[in-house]
Structures are given as C-alpha cells and as structure tokens.
Amino acid sequence: MTSTSFGARYRAALDTRGPLCVGIDPHSSLLLDWGLDDDVAGLERFAMTVVEAVAGEVAVVKPQSAFYERFGSRGIAVLEKVISESRAAGTLVLLDVKRGDIGSTSQAYADAYLDPSSPLFSDAITVSPYLGFGSVTPMIETALRNEAGVFVLALTSNKEAPEVQHAVDADGRTVAGGVLARLRELNAGADPLGSIGAVIGATIGDTGEDFDFNGPILAPGVGAQGGTVDDVRRIFGSAARNVTPSSSRQLLLQGPDASRLRDAVRRTNDEFRALAV
C-alpha cells in the first residue's frame, strides 16, 4: 500500500508522464476491427495488448468496467488482470464504473473497488452523485482512508446531461455547480492536490462554472469526439494543468499492433503536455 495520497500520486504522474488518460474499452466493434472474436479470448487479447502498449507510458489508464462485465466472471477476471498489471507498471488505474447508490450498497461498492484487499482495488473510480451528494460519501470516505481517489460526475457531454446538471436551485446555483462546491470543500488545504476529482467533458463548451477546486479533472471526449488541446485550455483555464484528457476509440483503432498503438499514444500525450505550461 502506498504511503502518499491519490492527489499527490496523480500530480506526480501527470508531471512525469504527461496528462493523457487512455481508455481501455473493449467494445465489440473494436474487437472485430482488430480481427478478434467477440468472446473472452478476444477480450483478453485486446485488453492485454493495450496494457502492453501503454502501461508505463502514460499517467492514467481508464478501463470501462461494463465492457468486461458483459462476459460475466471470466470478463471480470480479465479486468482484474488489467488493473493489477497496469498498477504494477506504475500507471494509475481509474476504473470507470460510475457507481451511485445509498447506504450499505454504496459502502459495498466502496469495498469492491477502493479496499486494498479487493482484487478490483484501483487507484480511483468514477461515481455518480445524482442520488444526492451524500450518496457517494461512503465511497469518498473509503477512498480517502485507503489513499485512493474518486472522480465525481459533474458536467458530462452527453446530450441528456443539461436537464439535470444545468438545473438551477433556489439559490441560483446549478446542480453541477453544487457538486463542484462540494469538491472544493473536500479538497481544501490539500497539497499538492486533493484526491476528490470531477468528470467534466472536453466538449461541453462554456458553462461559467469555476473548475479551480484543487482536485483532479477527468476530461473525456478528446480524439474521436472532437475535443482538442485548445478546447481543454479554453474550458478549464488555470485548472487545465490538473486535467487528464481521456481518449479511447481513436487511439485503440491503431491496434492490434502494440508498437503502432504505443506511437499514437506518445504523439497524443505530447500534444497535451502543453497544458502544463
């Protein structure tokens, strides 16, 4: 077990390896594009080729749990291997599970992903606060206790998001703004960076929200979805150096050749290193 907070490890990883987060998302269509069968053998070949290509190259990898869960226990076994081998290579694993529930169920999710005794233990996970922010408190508390991190959905780029996230409360603050305010409180005083982050799309446009909450930011949507370095700099301003822009499909299409995939990841990572300037 590491003796430093997730926020400190995240800051060091971005400063050392660059900001890019690579999604390890074995869509059935990608397996077929790689000439693989859409089965557990294809899943493992795909996932471990990506790990071989990028673990140790980038700061963060983000496996999307659903693409492994669809194969049942054998798929979860592959996910466990992705997590363990990526972490062994020194790359932070952000497990994309977007869990959100209440009470003992929320705590069970925390135990599954944020307890070091679990085979699914990851450096951080994504969570949804839209059952009320208190619903994710067990996951946040467990993460902090175990020096892991949590990325809370704040402003996502899916077209349905504004009906919830942009809604305004009685004080004139948006729902997303309320989430960001909670993160600011949780990360207050942390140095060099807090461990509770936000998920904010790289294609959301101008929102007027303040993204300087002293925490990590996952920005999905670069690459195939159109997000660029300039978009990230424009959206996040002074907080851009805390952003890990996430790209999946555009990079993964460079497989199954691991060298070609690695080269694409390095080029993309180099493009986004300008965010730290």
Mean pLDDT is lowest, of 30-39, 89-98, 206-215, for 206-215
The CA distance from 163 to 219, in Å, is: 20
> Nearest 5 degrees, angle CA 30-CA 99-CA 144?
115
pLDDT at residue 224 in the model = 63
Going by pLDDT thresholds of 50, 70 and 90, the confidence category of residue 252 is very high
pLDDT at residue 275 in the model = 75
Sign of the Cα torsion 264, 269, 210, 137 reads positive
pTM: 0.95
Residue 98 appears among annotated catalytic residues = yes
Residue 147 has pLDDT above 70, yes or no: yes
Mean pLDDT is lowest, of 126-130, 217-221, 250-254, 271-275, for 271-275
pLDDT at residue 1 in the model = 39
Task: List C-alpha distances in Å: 37 to 34, 45, 79, 132, 250.
Answer: 9, 10, 18, 41, 20
The catalytic position among 62, 81, 98, 159 is 98
Residue 113 has pLDDT above 60, yes or no: yes
- How many alpha carbons fall within 13 Å on the CB side of residue 199? 26
Task: List C-alpha distances in Å: 204 to 155, 162, 163, 169, 239.
Answer: 7, 10, 14, 21, 15
Residue 2 has pLDDT above 50, yes or no: no
pLDDT in tens, 189-235: 999 999 999 999 998 878 888 999 999 999 998 866 677 888 899 99
